[in-house]
Amino acid sequence: MNPFEFKNPTKIIFGKDSIKKLENEIPTDAKVLLLYGGGSIKTNGIYNQVKKALEKVNVTEFGGIPANPEYAVLMDALKIIKNENITYLLAVGGGSVIDGTKFLASAAIYDGDTPWDILSKNIRTEKGMPFGTVLTLPATGSEMNSGAVITREETKEKLAMGGPGLFPEFSILDPQVIASIPQRQLANGITDAFTHVLEQYMTYPVEASLQDRFAESILQTLIEIAPKILKDPTDYKAASNFIWSCTMALNGLIQKGVPTDWAVHAMGHELTALFGIDHARTLAVIAPSHYKFNFESKKEKLEQYAERVWNITEGSIDSKAHTAIEKTITFFHELGINTKLSDYTKDYDGTAEEIAKRFTNRGWLGLGEHQSLSPDKVEKIVKMTY
Amino acid sequence: MNPFEFKNPTKIIFGKDSIKKLENEIPTDAKVLLLYGGGSIKTNGIYNQVKKALEKVNVTEFGGIPANPEYAVLMDALKIIKNENITYLLAVGGGSVIDGTKFLASAAIYDGDTPWDILSKNIRTEKGMPFGTVLTLPATGSEMNSGAVITREETKEKLAMGGPGLFPEFSILDPQVIASIPQRQLANGITDAFTHVLEQYMTYPVEASLQDRFAESILQTLIEIAPKILKDPTDYKAASNFIWSCTMALNGLIQKGVPTDWAVHAMGHELTALFGIDHARTLAVIAPSHYKFNFESKKEKLEQYAERVWNITEGSIDSKAHTAIEKTITFFHELGINTKLSDYTKDYDGTAEEIAKRFTNRGWLGLGEHQSLSPDKVEKIVKMTY
């Protein structure tokens, strides 16, 4: 087990009708900016529940944060925060709204030249404006971590930010929200969380037995609940395990004391930036090729994954490891998620070279758990997805 | 899955030579009371490491906190806190020293008649004096939770306390401390953590799939590392998994969203209060009889435990569940832990009646996950341990 530090102060409020507990969490003298996305919360009842719980609080609203939260849109919200002397942010949405809110929590008190620096210079946020979340779409784990990813359409970039000042003060998780989520988003959420775990697990063994088993626990639970959720999103028990698995997949716990990879995300972000493919789907495109390309360095963990998660106990290490990759692809397919870039676009020619070039320009010369995944290897992996 | 709230703000600092990081965690203008136990930290080098890290801080010391931290001793420490205007507490020890420190963190700012009220009236501590810990003996999980158990020799009582004000600000976990722990304490630590998990797991199913798997992960890891640790406490990898398993066993995570029992602890505490038997050993005495007595209401989880933790996949539910109890007893025996009260004392006559009477007097009329374990049932369970 590697050395680590772990602290996660976010308060989780989990359960049926928990949105009404909002009123206990936000100071009554706060000036709140309520942030949300495309407006589905107005049709599924969540908006009304939130407004009712905040009756006694001064609330301004900002809707329209898009999937892959867009810098230009967020800059409009930032103006409101400054002009209205907002003191507290409330994200009501999925990962995009929460990530956008994290950027705003940082930008609201950033005193450099331009908030873009926070992203382009990867400036760590030690302190941000306080904020809470009401999760409406489980997937990213953003409700219980301190990281965010922001997109800038103008430059076709998608960059990460974070810091200890960006943990939500609280997050409200009501499994009933699952009932109104479209199938496509449910499948994305399962795939996103599943891949988050893989990024923190599919590396090399360091005898971190407990972390490995926790990671496997999340994978097993996602596999178990996936067909139930897709069949019936009103299945409250399955929905509960779905939400909690997504949160635990990326709240920092399973990555402590182990090597992590994150190259799948790095490559996947580029596919979203270039083609607008859903984040989760880009991960399902990249992951299988990534594991095949890096087979030798990952095969011990692939074998452990094969045995413990997929019950593949017969055969050689190589055979078990390969079968586990195939099982993973089948799992994505059963969710209705395609796993080839060519399934999403016909304009894939040159994508691998473009991504490799971007990584080179950013100085990303060695990704992955061994810091050895150079741009030429990235190019090969992306080509395998055509 | 049941509704829950979860927040755990303790910062964990984990790894080799992490004690030196103390200097970054305690404010330099603090007046620190350094609390420890019987003095083993002076022979194993930990005391020197702590003092070196605190060179720039004003430190007063209080040693001699006994196993089962004694109220009268702690009241002496409380005088020092008041007289010396102490502002920060640092526990260097195992669960007893940390629990004692939690009592002091609460008592130091309690303004009622007598600090005994905190225990006898079970007063929740919303705010306590800030404190950190350097863990020297993994077992209780006290380093990452907000609860404590205090003993009063005068009245032969052992009572619990807690509250959100009693999370350590930080806890330093250096697996190297395991190397100097005597075998008896190592066996106790494994048994204690194992039983903590069972108290939060061996109830009835609520389809909290992730929590169940996390609990099973800790049990599997403890079973895996137990022989390694007892054979060679300098095995750093096993020690790392041992410490982290003990911490995760009782930091609140696995108990959220599921029913919990804790009747084994309630009965076990009385055996310590009456006979001075090591806490962990009382749990190993009570647990098997408790599961046998409550077999019908616990057998579904006993079967799941049998299958997933002990790989018992053949036979009826009852048969698998019974075998799992026997496996648990064997596990304790292999640790060198006896599982009958009569193994520890010849004066056991009347113990069951005495414990039942105490529970009646305290109004503890329905323990366990169904609040149905009445004092007459407690009496029967304790008799089964003779």
| DSSP, residue by residue, A331-386 | HHHHTT----GGGT-S--TTHHHHHHHHHHHHT---BTTTT-B-HHHHHHHHHHT-
Mean pLDDT of B150-173: 93
> Sorting pLDDT into bands at 50, 70 and 90, what band is B74?
very high
Contacts of A79 (CB under 8 A, 6+ apart): none
- Separation CA B180–CA B233 (nearest Å): 8
pLDDT at B159: 87
Residue in A5, A10, A175 nearest the CB of B11:
A5
The DSSP bridge pattern shows strands A4-14 and A147-152 to be unpaired
Which member of B10, B12, B221 has the closest CB to residue A210? B221
Any A CB within 8 A of B213 CB: yes
Q: In this structure, are residues A89 and A130 in contact, taking their beta carbons and an 8 Å threshold?
A: yes
Q: Which residue of B has its CA nearest to A213?
A: B217
pLDDT score recorded for residue B156 = 81
In chain B, where do the E strands start and end? 4-14, 31-36, 58-62, 88-93, 131-135, 147-152, 157-162, 170-173
Check if the beta carbon of residue B100 is closer than 8 Å to that of residue B62: no
Best mutation target, B174, B210, B216, B307, to test chain A (most A CBs within 10 A) = B210
Any chain B CB within 8 A of the CB of A4? yes
Alpha-carbon distance values, B254 to B4, B91, B297 (Å)? 11, 25, 20
Count of CB atoms situated within 10 Å of the CB of A260: 15
Asked if B190 and B335 touch (Cβ cutoff 8 Å), the reply is yes
From the CA of B241, how many Å to the nearest CA of chain A? 6
Contact A11 B3 (CB under 8 A): no
Say how many C-beta atoms besides its own lie within 10 A of residue A114's C-beta: 11
**Does the structure's ipTM exceed the value 0.85?**
yes
Asked if the C-beta of B386 comes within 8 angstroms of chain A's C-beta atoms, the answer is no
Domains, chain A, in order of start with CATH, read 11-176 (3.40.50.1970), 182-384 (1.20.1090.10)
The pLDDT value given to residue B77: 98
| Dihedral sign for Cα atoms in the order A91, A94, A96, A102 | positive
In the three-class reduction of DSSP (H, G, I as helix; E, B as strand; rest coil), residue A52 is classed as helix
Tell whether A72 lies on the interface with B, counting CB pairs under 8 A: no
Record: contact B208-A6, CB cut-off 8 A: no
Q: How confident is the model at residue B39 (pLDDT cuts 50, 70, 90)?
A: confident
pLDDT at B157 over 90: no
Q: Which amino acid is residue B207, in one-letter code?
A: E
Task: Identify the residue whose tokens are 């009958």.
Answer: B340
**Cβ–Cβ gap A210/B218 under 8 Å:** yes
Nearest CB to A3 within list B6, B16, B256: B16
Q: What is the DSSP string of B239-254?
A: HHHHHHHHHHHTSSGG
Contact A4 B12 (CB under 8 A): yes
For B269-278, give one letter per residue: b (16+ CB within 10 A) or e: bbbbbbeebb
A8 touches chain B (CB under 8 A): yes
Query: Closest residue of A to B17, CA-based?
Result: A3
B209–A221: do the CB atoms touch at under 8 Å?
A: yes
What is the 8-class DSSP label of residue B61?
E
Hey, is the C-beta of A257 within 8 angstroms of any chain B C-beta?
yes
Instruction: Give percent of chain B above pLDDT 70.
Output: 100
Nearest CA in chain B to A144: B7
Place of tokens 């963190």: B105
d(C-alpha B219, C-alpha B196), whole Å: 10
B245 near A CB under 8 A: yes
* Cβ contact, residue pair B210, A7, below 8 Å: no
pLDDT over threshold 90, residue B68: no
- Closest B-chain CA to A254: B214
- What SS3 state is found at B133? strand
Give the position of tokens 């829950």. Answer: B4
Cβ–Cβ contact B221 with A under 8 A: yes
What average pLDDT does range B350-363 have in this prediction? 96
Residue-wise pLDDT tens for chain A (386 aa)?
999 999 999 999 999 999 999 999 999 999 999 999 998 999 999 999 999 999 999 999 999 999 889 999 999 999 999 999 999 999 999 999 999 999 999 999 999 999 999 999 999 999 999 999 999 999 999 999 999 999 998 988 888 999 999 999 999 999 999 999 999 999 999 999 999 999 999 999 999 999 999 999 999 999 999 999 999 999 999 999 999 999 999 999 999 999 999 999 999 999 998 999 999 999 999 999 999 999 999 999 999 999 999 999 999 999 999 999 999 999 999 999 999 999 999 999 999 999 999 999 989 999 999 999 999 999 999 999 99
- Decide if B14 and A213 are in contact by the 8 Å CB cutoff: no
Residue A271 is predicted with a pLDDT of 95
Q: Within an 8 Å CB–CB cutoff, is residue B207 touching chain A?
A: yes
Average pLDDT over residues B273-291: 96
Whether B268 and B279 have beta carbons less than 8 Å apart is answered as yes
In this structure, the strands spanning A31-35 and A131-135 are unpaired
What count of CB pairs under 8 Å joins A to B?
A: 115
Q: What is the pLDDT of residue B155?
A: 87
> Residue A175's closest CA among B298, B282, B207?
B207
CB-based contact B210 A224, cutoff 8 Å: no
Q: Which of B342, B191, B212, B208 is nearest to B271 (CA)?
A: B342
Q: Does A362 touch chain B (CB under 8 A)?
A: no
Q: Distance between CA atoms of B94 and B72, rounded to whole angstroms?
A: 19
Q: What is the spatial distance between Cα B305 and Cα A197, in angstroms, rounded to a whole number?
A: 24
Please report, to the nearest 10 degrees, the dihedral formed by the alpha carbons of residues B86, B90, B94, B98 taken in order. Answer: 50
Q: CA nearest A285: which of A261, A267, A299?
A: A267
> With an 8 Å Cβ cutoff, are B210 and A244 in contact?
yes
